[in-house]
Structure 1
Amino acid sequence: MNTMRRLLATSVAVAVPLLLAVSLVGPSEAALSANPSNPLAKPGPWNHSTIATRANPEFTNYRDEPDPARKAALAKIAKSPKARWFANCRSCNVDSVRKNVAAYVVDAQRSNPDALVQLAIFGLWPDGEVVDGKRPAMSWSMERYQRWIRQIAAGIGTARVAIILEPDLAISANHANGGRELRDPTPGVRMRMTAWAARYLSQTLRREAIYIDAGSADWLYVDEAVRLLRASGVQYVRGFALGATHYDSVASNVAFAAKVSAALSRGGIRGKRAVIDTADNGTPFTWKQWDARWGAKYRATRNEYYQFDNTPTCGSRTERVCQSLGHRPTWNPVGPESAKLGLGPDAPGLRQQAARVVDGYLWFGRGWRWMQQGGLDSRTEFRSVRMANSTRFTQAR
């Protein structure tokens, strides 16, 4: 009993200064003090992409919009730094991806080698995540996937990058709160591919911060996320990414990130940090909350407008269970608007966890695009305007 009391007293003595540090000093100083190795906090601008193509409909729609009010709304997305997705397809881009990545790097750097270039690498679902109502087996060979990853690395070169590695890898954990009816038939293959990419990219790139997808707080259990990350090479990279295709709250994902990082540490993989997507969870909701409001309508109509990946956008700042722009991209998780995330001074424990475990809030979700894919179509522009107009957050441009 005396030993337990001494341990408790020691824990309190350590925890109280940390909580006070996050609560009493400035938010930037608190974040740097709690997470001094944060690679996203290094000097250098975060630029938006100005490439006007189908791969960047956000900027194309903004550039071509004649109405001043709509243009201002579209600017909130188009002029915010985002991760561009580089995805494979059945046969399309092993030969062209190096050129495309290199062009994006030049655009995002704006002649400044210290600019942070953000990209998502999405190569595990070349046939789509659902084909004829079923999850497809991995159709690419390891050799072809390796060639694709090598070309991406060559396109990146010496750029400073933040990489979200394989969004929706969490499907391979074979769990979702809605049931297990759509299992990945080849989870081991996908995890081995991710582990190879994690190791290769971390050893090849010079200034990389790589985060492997680990689902969301409302998706996987902690032990499932840990098993997934261990098998997918998290030991080689900076950490893991949460919220890529979900909309749960930042506060929930902060708590989840702290638990996952601690569990990894207990298993010998220490010091792993997280990034959290805030592109489309300005009005957060879980899968269960989506199902309560939209699930029956989607199942009855099969209309993609109501599907989880395409949850309707918010029409106002008071509407709930809908998509709206969230916190602007930043390396500082306890900044001026963190109270809107549930991380204010009245939540010192969560605030301290965010400062210690979270490298930043990035935009690697794409809720403003139709089915999170989109392109140059009116539905994507419509969703963008509604999400921008309903956000509760300041979008710095």
Structure 2
Amino acid sequence: MLPRTFTLRAAALLAALAMGAVGLVAPTAQAEHADRSPAVKPDPRKRLGLFVDPKMPAYQQGGVYRTRIGSNAQAFWVIPEAYDTSSVKSKVEEYTGDAANARKTPVLTIYGIPGRDCGQYSSGNPLQTAAQYRGWINQVAKGLGGTHALVILEPDALPLFSSSVQACPTKPDGWLGMLRYASRKLSGTGAWVYLDAGHSNWTPYDDRPRFLQKAGIAYDRGFSTNVSNFRPTADEKAYAAKMLSGLRKLGVKGKRYVIDTSRNGARPPDGSGYDVINPTWARLGKPPRLVFDGAFDGKLWVKHPGESDGQVNGGGPSGQWCDMLADRLLDRPSEQPYCP
């Protein structure tokens, strides 16, 4: 008489062999383990909303400015005048830490390349050389590590420096290399980096995909359009499609884009053209929202509505908050005739 345990094991073995003969054998232990392996978690940026920072200017103003402007997510601008190489890492960590505590996605704009804005309203950059810029970017990257941030990289730099018709006396030597370094370094932190590509009316732009390629967009998630500008969203989508097509022809595939809709809620009343410095006809655009619709990742508010573009059309110094400019965007009367 065999022990009962042995008899049961033998019966189980015979049953397994019989099932195997008709193709019904149970999964192997390895297969069972594979079936139980955890599914890949979706990227948190695809499920978390964008971070609404209570430190942003419109939020701090309170009242209608908070409810209609400040309650929307806006990018945190990282500029070397405010955050130099010694302090920028901690400032980026502070902002992304606030976003993490709120369980939201941080959005940052990196704006520090030497020669930016061609010496116009945003001049005064303390970074003058490629070596200084790389050192600053290295510290930004250290602050970004593991934060799952969205990053707009150097608004206007590529279209300004690559333009054949735009005079730019401050265009730095090696600007493509600087953008390529920043693309690689910042994307290496896990951030979704969008290299700025100007906008639909910044022409000619037939060569822009080639410059995007040389500036390192292969490292990035994609590109941004309409930053601090006023072009309609439909125009920007058509422009983005041309950039994507041009990139594919160069072998750069799978790129995506975002559009700044912070101030593109109206067209010029006479249709004659577009001011770009505090236009009197501009209005708030559609609220920021990630949509992940094909190559279109979504709408962002990169420029802060209510902050001046420069001392034109009643505006104050670039980047300065002004109630009157915010009132214009909200299409409401203002007690201020011009910015102080």
1:145 partnered with 2:133: yes
Aligned counterparts of 1:45 and 1:308: Cα–Cα separation in 2:
30
Partner of 2:118, secondary structure, is coil
Match of 2:225 among 242, 247, 269: 242
Aligned position for 1:102: 93
Q: Which amino acid aligns with 1:261?
A: L
Aligned position for 2:51: 47
1:122 partnered with 2:111: yes
Is the Cα contact below 8 Å between 2:109 and 2:152 reproduced in 1? yes
Is the Cα contact below 8 Å between 1:194 and 1:232 reproduced in 2? yes
Residues paired across the two proteins, number: 282
Give the CA deviation at 1:181.
5.0
Per the normalisation by structure 1, the TM-score is 0.64
Partner of 2:273, secondary structure, is helix
1:375 partnered with 2:334: no
Is the Cα contact below 8 Å between 1:281 and 1:324 reproduced in 2? yes
Aligned position for 2:278: 310
Give the CA deviation at 1:83.
0.9
Partner of 1:85, secondary structure, is strand
Residues 86 and 153 (structure 1), Cα distance of their counterparts in 2 relative to 1, 3 Å cut: same
Aligned counterparts of 1:80 and 1:152: Cα–Cα separation in 2:
24
Aligned counterparts of 1:219 and 1:39: Cα–Cα separation in 2:
33
Q: Which amino acid aligns with 1:363?
A: W
Aligned counterparts of 1:39 and 1:247: Cα–Cα separation in 2:
31
1:225 partnered with 2:163: no
User: 1:181-205, CA deviations, whole angstroms, 9 ceiling, x for partnerless residues?
Assistant: 52355365222111101011122x1
Give the CA deviation at 1:309.
2.1
Aligned position for 1:262: 245
Aligned position for 1:283: 266
% identical equivalent positions: 25
Aligned counterparts of 1:375 and 1:137: Cα–Cα separation in 2:
16
Aligned position for 1:33: none
Give the CA deviation at 1:255.
0.8
User: 1:141-198, CA deviations, whole angstroms, 9 ceiling, x for partnerless residues?
Assistant: 22211111111112223111000000111211225xxxx3523553652221111010
Match of 2:291 among 329, 332, 344: 332
Partner of 1:255, secondary structure, is helix
Aligned counterparts of 1:40 and 1:308: Cα–Cα separation in 2:
35
Is the Cα contact below 8 Å between 1:192 and 1:232 reproduced in 2? yes
Residues 198 and 311 (structure 1), Cα distance of their counterparts in 2 relative to 1, 3 Å cut: same
Partner of 2:207, secondary structure, is helix
Residues 219 and 127 (structure 1), Cα distance of their counterparts in 2 relative to 1, 3 Å cut: closer
Match of 2:143 among 152, 155, 172: 155
Give the CA deviation at 1:211.
0.4
Give the CA deviation at 1:126.
6.2
Match of 1:82 among 74, 85, 90: 74
Per the normalisation by structure 2, the TM-score is 0.74
Aligned position for 1:323: 282
Partner of 1:147, secondary structure, is helix
User: 1:297-355, CA deviations, whole angstroms, 9 ceiling, x for partnerless residues?
Assistant: xxxxxxxxxx622212xxxxxxxxx211101111127xxxxxxxxxxxxxxxxxxxxx3
Which structure: larger Rg?
A: 2
Q: Which amino acid aligns with 1:183?
A: C
Give the CA deviation at 1:76.
1.7
Q: Which has the higher helix share?
A: 1
- In structure 2, runs of 5+ residues without a counterpart are 1-41, 311-317, 333-340
Q: Which amino acid aligns with 1:72?
A: V
